[in-house]
């Protein structure tokens, strides 16, 4: 694993100037499409930026795999819910790409309340020639029109356009935390704190509630749904995680309402490590199926766990992301960092997993060799095309050279969102308002 990281080069990073970075520029989600040719980011300002991979060219082989801006559009605007006197932020919570269905690309983006289906398409021709106007755009005298002119198409510079094709609204009382497209390519789910809704991608005026954990009396509320995802192949299976650290697997074949789960994954708590923070840090912030559909990965505050779908009582593998923070939970609670929602991703072959940490660090774990590495995404420590150095955090004692003390970690620089190219070793890491794209060394 370390060799692999050694060969990792910083490829290009889309840096917005730190001095002028505003809250709106903070990246809130990042996602590759199913071919890896496109990469989308969403930010707190409601914008979606789509990057496209450069085509391979013989003259500039080093530019292979470079991602450049393809399209930028405003997906969501701030709104106000007059009935509840609530502001609805424009922040993009999640982006999910749809499998390609024609020459255009489609993605779903969501803020707290509304999911939108966007179409991103190209155009390189335009019709020319009017009857009532001459070629310079001047209005012609109607009496001079002696023949009819049908417009003809002329080539023009390539334009990329984004259009909202569908708006799925008014179905969520609470904040949407995740969306997931079904493998049947017909439906998707949107999940908020207490409910999971099933939508048909073509129908916006109705959705079906398939999970509802809202108790009759809200004072009896003990857990919330934190994330949900469809199985990559089985169109009837989806999983959702809870703030109590458990994952439920539901089978939509059994009933229209999936209130009863068919599998329940939970690790029994170790009484010796129980503390005031146990419940908070066991809350799952992300759940992801492996590409082959055999495993589930979950991220809680301190660990990443891999679960075998056939084994409900304990995780198959547990990886410590930043165990050195265990002693600092008190201060992390005070500065609210303990509630940060870190995401986790699989690589294309499900052999490596990646998740974020603080101080612009992100972690990778090789499941076969059991080796792990900490890397840093920062413009200070890396130039484009530079090789990333593994980083180490030391706890107390003597600090060796190129180690960083746990007390000097910057908790405002957190890496919450990362994504891995579906087939290649290319990753995208969102560090506040910066997007870093790393890839294996070419030669």
Between 88 and 104, name the residue whose CB sits nearer to another protein: 104
Between 163 and 412, name the residue whose CB sits nearer to another protein: 163
185 binds another protein (CB under 8 A): yes
119 binds another protein (CB under 8 A): yes
78 binds another protein (CB under 8 A): no
Among 130, 222, 311, 370, binds another protein (CB under 8 A): 130
Among 88, 213, 224, 235, binds another protein (CB under 8 A): 235
Among 209, 234, 278, 318, binds another protein (CB under 8 A): 234
CB of 93 to another protein, least distance (A): 19
Name the residue among 362, 285, 365 with its Cα closest to residue 10: 362
CA–CA dist 394, 411 (Å, integer): 16
CB of 147 to another protein, least distance (A): 7
284 close to 299: Cβ distance less than 8 angstroms: yes
Between 80 and 130, name the residue whose CB sits nearer to another protein: 130
From 4-12, 88-96, 233-241, 416-424, span contacting another protein (CB under 8 A): 233-241
Please name the residues in contact with 307: beta carbons below 8 A apart, sequence gap of 6 or more.
247, 265, 295, 296, 297, 298, 315, 316
Among 254, 269, 323, 403, binds another protein (CB under 8 A): 254
Q: Is 59 exposed, middle or buried (0-12, 13-18, 19+ CB in 10 A)?
A: exposed
184 binds another protein (CB under 8 A): yes
260 binds another protein (CB under 8 A): no
Question: HEC states along the chain?
Answer: CHHHHHCEEEEEEECCCHHHCCHHHCEEEEEECCCCCEEEEEECCCEEEEEEECCCCCCCHHHCCCEEEEEEEECCCCEEECCCCEEECCCCCEEEECCCCCCCEEEEEECCCCEEEEEEEEEEEEEECCCCECCCCCECCHHHCCCCCCCEEEEEEEEEEEEEEEEECCCCCCCEEEEEECCCCCEEEEEECCEEEEEECCCCCCCEEEEECCCCCHHHCCCCEEEEEECCCCCCEEEEEECCCCEEEEECCCCCCCCCCCEEECCCCCHHHCCCCHHHHHCCCEEEECCCCCEEEEECCCEEEEEECCCCCCCCEEEECCHHHHHHHHHHHHCCHHHCCCCEEECCCCCEEEEECECCEEEEEECCCCCEEEEECCCCCCCCCCECCCCEEECCCCCCCCEEEHHHCCCCCECCEEEECCCCCEEEEEECCEEEEEEECCC
Among 2, 161, 259, 410, binds another protein (CB under 8 A): 161
Among 18, 126, 206, 385, binds another protein (CB under 8 A): 126
CA–CA dist 201, 368 (Å, integer): 38
CB of 72 to another protein, least distance (A): 13
99 binds another protein (CB under 8 A): yes
Between 16 and 165, name the residue whose CB sits nearer to another protein: 165
Among 57, 147, 310, 443, binds another protein (CB under 8 A): 147
62 binds another protein (CB under 8 A): no
CB of 165 to another protein, least distance (A): 6
Among 106, 230, 358, 362, binds another protein (CB under 8 A): 106
Of 162-181, binders to another protein (CB under 8 A) are: 162-165, 167
Among 15, 24, 69, 159, binds another protein (CB under 8 A): 159
Among 69, 86, 145, 330, binds another protein (CB under 8 A): 145
80 binds another protein (CB under 8 A): no
From 149-157, 221-229, 414-422, 424-432, span contacting another protein (CB under 8 A): 149-157
Among 23, 202, 259, 323, binds another protein (CB under 8 A): 202
144 binds another protein (CB under 8 A): yes
CB crowding 238-277: b at 16 or more within 10 Å, else e: bbbbbbebbbbbbbbeeeeebeebebebbbeeeeeeeeeb
Among 151, 327, 384, 396, binds another protein (CB under 8 A): 151
Of 284-313, binders to another protein (CB under 8 A) are: none
CB of 114 to another protein, least distance (A): 11
Among 60, 131, 292, 349, binds another protein (CB under 8 A): 131
CB of 16 to another protein, least distance (A): 24
* Contact positions vs another protein (CB under 8 A): 99-104, 106, 119, 121, 123, 125-127, 130-133, 142-153, 159, 161-165, 167, 183-186, 202, 233-236, 252-256
């Amino acid at each position: 694993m370390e060799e692999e990281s050694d060969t990792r080069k910083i490829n290009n990073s889309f840096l917005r100037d730190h001095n002028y970075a505003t809250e709106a520029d903070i990246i809130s989600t990042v996602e590759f499409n199913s071919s890896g040719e496109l990469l989308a980011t969403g930010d707190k300002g409601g914008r979606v930026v789509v990057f496209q991979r450069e085509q391979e060219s013989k003259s500039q082989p080093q530019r292979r795999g470079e991602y450049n801006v393809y399209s930028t559009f405003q997906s969501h605007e701030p709104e106000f819910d007059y009935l509840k006197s609530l502001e609805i932020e424009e922040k993009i919570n999640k982006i999910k790409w749809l499998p390609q269905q024609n020459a255009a690309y489609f993605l779903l983006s969501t803020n707290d309340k509304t999911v939108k289906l966007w179409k991103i398409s190209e155009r390189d021709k335009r019709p020319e020639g009017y009857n009532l106007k001459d070629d310079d755009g001047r209005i012609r005298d109607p009496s001079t029109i002696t023949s009819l002119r049908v417009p003809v198409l002329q080539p023009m510079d390539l334009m990329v356009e984004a259009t909202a094709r569908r708006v799925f609204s008014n179905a969520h009382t609470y904040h949407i935390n995740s969306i997931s497209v079904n493998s049947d390519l017909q439906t998707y789910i949107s999940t908020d704190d207490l409910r999971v809704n099933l939508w048909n991608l073509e129908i916006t005026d109705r959705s079906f509630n398939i999970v509802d954990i809202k108790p009759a009396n809200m004072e009896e509320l003990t857990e919330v749904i934190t994330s949900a995802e469809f199985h990559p192949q089985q169109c009837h299976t989806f999983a959702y995680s809870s703030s109590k650290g458990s994952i439920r697997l539901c089978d939509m074949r059994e009933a229209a309402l999936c209130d009863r789960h068919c599998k329940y994954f939970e690790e029994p708590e170790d009484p010796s490590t129980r503390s005031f923070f146990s419940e908070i840090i066991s809350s799952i912030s992300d759940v992801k199926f492996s590409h082959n559909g055999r495993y589930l990965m979950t991220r809680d505050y301190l660990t990443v766990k891999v679960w075998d779908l056939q084994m409900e009582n304990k995780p198959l593998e547990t990886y410590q992301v930043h165990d050195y923070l265990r002693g600092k939970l008190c201060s992390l609670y005070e500065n609210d960092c303990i509630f940060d929602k870190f995401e986790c991703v699989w690589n294309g072959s499900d052999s490596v997993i990646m998740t974020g940490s603080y101080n612009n660090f992100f972690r990778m774990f090789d499941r076969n060799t059991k080796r792990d590495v900490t890397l840093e995404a920062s413009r200070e420590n890396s130039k484009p095309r530079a090789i990333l150095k593994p980083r180490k955090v030391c706890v107390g004692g003597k600090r060796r050279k190129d180690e960083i003390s746990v007390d000097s970690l910057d908790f405002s620089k957190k890496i919450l969102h990362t994504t891995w190219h579906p087939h290649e070793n290319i990753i995208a890491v969102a560090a506040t308002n910066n997007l870093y794209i790393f890839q294996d060394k070419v030669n």
